[in-house]
Structure formats: C-alpha cells, structure tokens
Amino acid sequence: MSAAAPAAAALRVCVAGASGRMGQMLVEALRDSGDCVLSGALDVAGSRAIGQDAAGFAGQPSGVTITADLAQGLADSQFLIDFTRPEGTLAHLRECAQRGVAVVIGTTGFSDAQKAEIAEIAKQIPVMLAPNMSVGVNVTLKLLEMAAKALSTGYDIEIVEAHHRHKVDAPSGTALKMGEVIADALGRDLKDCAVYAREGVTGERDPSSIGFATVRGGDIVGDHTVLFAGTGERIEITHKSSSRVTYAQGSLRAVRFLAGKPAGLYDMFDVLGLKP
C-alpha cells in the first residue's frame, strides 16, 4: 500500500528498521516535518511489523506499509535513512546505488573494509555517514578538536561512554569518532594509540595513549565524556542525550543537505558547515 502523493516539493524518505526505536522516532519526525514525507519503510524479513502501517504505533496511519522488499520500499523514495546493522546497511546501500537514492547512514560498528565499500559506493550517489546525527554531538566534536590542539602536551586523554543495555557494539561509534578527531588533531593514528581495556598490572600510563571506558545499563540513550587530565587540573567535555529526537532531527537536516548534492561521501561537519 502506498502513501498518498506528497506535495511536489516534499523530500521523499524511506526509513530502514522502521519498527525499531530509532525507526519509529524517524517516522514521527517525518510526520511532523513540513518539507519531508515518509515514502517507504523497511524491516528485516520475519519481523512481526511486516505488513503493518509504519506509523500504526502512533495511532496515526501513514499509508506506508512496512516491507522487507527493498525494491518496494525504495520505489517512490529519493532518500533512505538507515540506523540498522552494518551488513543490512551495506545491502541497502548497494540497492540505493542502483536506483540513484541518496543515503543517510547512522549505523555504527563498520569494519575498515565496510567503510571502504561505503566510500566506493559514494562515488555513485550522495552518502552522508556519521556515527552520531546529533547537532550537539557534532559541535562537541569540533570543541574536542580545538581542545586537543591546545592541550597537546601534559594532558592525559580518556573517553568514557555509557549506553542502554541493548547496544551491541562497544565502544560506541560516537566515542570512536571522538577518539579519531582528537588523534587527528594531535597528528596521531587512533589505531596506534587507543587503549580499550585495562586489567591487572598494566604499568604506567603511556602519555601518548587515548583511553576508552564503556558502560552499559538501563535505558541510557547516550552519554559521552572526554577527560583531559593534567597536573593540577582536569578539563571535561561532556555531551548527554536524553532522547533520540535529536538523532532524528539531525537525520532530517542531513536529508535536506543531500538534496541536489553530487555523488560523494559527506559527514555531519559538512551538514553543519563546521569544516574550514
């Protein structure tokens, strides 16, 4: 069943993982948007949501039925927003490349090989890839870049993140992005200086390392703190999410940014104009 024809200027957006927590938040954000419209809804085969109205959970039917058929879900869409799993996202991305559908990716946990495939596909279609769509988080990343350059010597850097009990990857994609931004600002490679676990007699801390600590529990949406620990002082830069609404709104902002853009791989710094 297809949605009613949207206004001519509306941006037609398909949502992957439409029955999940983030998917439902995106469906609601699209419903409340004045310039975007839900045009397709995808979920995995076997999901109990298949065949249901994508906005049925909110009691306001959208006319868009959730399907596992990529061709059906993308048929009327200009954009796909994907917050699923790496393997599913890549399958969706390949189909979007064939159809000329631009993609906003909020999925995390990609391997280096998978990131390379995304970059290759982005030569065919516009792709916006970011581990966190929150405007606030991305402004925080910019602040971390500035802080790392100013605190490049004499400060130990530790990143602590906390998420809900259902999150399957660790550290979070946002924490890793924070580490990458800091390492780049310091002229280092995160692969060479990251420390992800400490146990037993570890010896003194390597001053060039960037440490990570992970907390999982309850319904924590997402907390991230970067600690710059010096002699006689500590600087902490923290971002806390209380709702996934910020991720949904950031995703729609990315959709608007991609409208009319040429093929290429973009990030939220591009969307927010934070690049030099």
Neighbours of 224 (CB within 10 A): 25
Give which of 212, 229, 239 is closest to 141, Cα–Cα. Answer: 239
Q: Which residues are catalytic?
A: 163, 167
Expressed in angstroms, the distance from the first to the final Cα of the chain is 45
Residue with tokens 């104009």: 273
Q: Assign residue 137 a region (left: φ > 0; alpha: ψ between -120 and 50; beta: otherwise).
A: alpha
CA distance 30 to 32: 5
**Residue showing tokens 């600690």:** 227
Kind of pairing, strands 36-42 and 66-67?
A: parallel
